[in-house]
């Protein structure tokens, strides 16, 4: 009986830590939000993290990818002088997130000279790390779906970057539950990655 009570107590404490951690990222993210019409300082970069594999050849639309590309093109039309960093991973000859994003943005009328490709960032932490190493002194605007964006903004703040964020549309039926659960664990991983750096 004591073992059951102990296991239950540990489980409740772990859930509480996960929930509190999740909402600390929410508070940080909300404090850095802007909209597409916001004024941005000269020298600001637009940073778009990769949105997963299998676009455009997937059986189902990748709404994360499409939402980020739509919002990036919209923001760039309003701020055409900003350079766009397309960040992702190239882990096979047939899959390159940055190139996929570049192709999509070209179809949306964004000039190729506006784009900088980062093919070496496997996850959000590496994307923020790359920006910190190469563009640290320049403000950055991040575009992604809300849950992911708030994690990226939290990482950027912890790195001391001047970061703001714009929410991209996601799944038209609402954020899938699996994505929120995944994000809870991704936020724990983000805190751990900063801890061990």
For 69, counting Cβ atoms within 10 Å of its Cβ (0-12 exposed, 13-18 middle, 19+ buried), the class is: buried
**Predicted TM-score of the model (pTM):** 0.86
When computed from its CA atoms, the radius of gyration of the chain, rounded to whole angstroms, is: 18
How high is the pLDDT of residue 56?
Answer: 53
Nearest to 168 by CA among 69, 87, 29, 86: 69
How high is the pLDDT of residue 173?
Answer: 86
Q: How many domains does the chain have?
A: 1
| Domain residue limits at 28 | 2-196
- Residue located via tokens 């991973």: 89
How high is the pLDDT of residue 53?
Answer: 60
pLDDT per residue of the chain (197 residues) written in tens, 0 to 9: 787 787 778 888 777 777 777 788 888 889 999 999 999 998 999 999 998 765 555 677 888 999 999 999 999 999 999 999 999 988 776 678 999 999 999 999 999 999 999 998 989 999 999 999 999 999 999 999 999 999 999 999 999 999 999 999 988 888 888 888 888 888 889 988 888 87
Q: Residue 53 belongs to a domain with what CATH number? A: 3.40.50.620
The DSSP symbol for 169 reads P
């Amino acid at each position: 009986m004591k073992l059951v009570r102990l296991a239950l107590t540990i489980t409740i404490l772990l859930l509480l830590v996960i929930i509190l951690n999740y909402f600390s990222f929410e508070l940080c993210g909300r404090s850095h939000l802007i909209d597409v019409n916001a004024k941005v300082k000269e020298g600001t970069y637009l940073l778009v993290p990769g949105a997963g594999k299998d676009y455009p050849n997937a059986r189902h639309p990748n709404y994360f990818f499409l939402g980020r590309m739509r919002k990036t093109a919209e923001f760039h039309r309003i701020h055409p002088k900003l350079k766009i960093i397309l960040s992702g991973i190239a882990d096979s000859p047939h899959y390159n997130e940055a190139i996929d994003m570049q192709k999509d943005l070209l179809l949306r009328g964004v000039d190729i000279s506006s784009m900088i490709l980062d093919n070496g960032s496997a996850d959000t932490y590496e994307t923020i790390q790359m920006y910190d190493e190469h563009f640290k002194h320049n403000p950055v605007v991040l575009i992604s779906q809300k849950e992911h964006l708030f994690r990226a903004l939290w990482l950027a703040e912890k790195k001391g970057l001047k970061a703001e964020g714009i929410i991209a549309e996601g799944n038209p039926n609402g954020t899938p539950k699996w994505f929120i659960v995944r994000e809870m664990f991704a936020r724990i991983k983000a805190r751990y990655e900063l801890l061990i750096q």
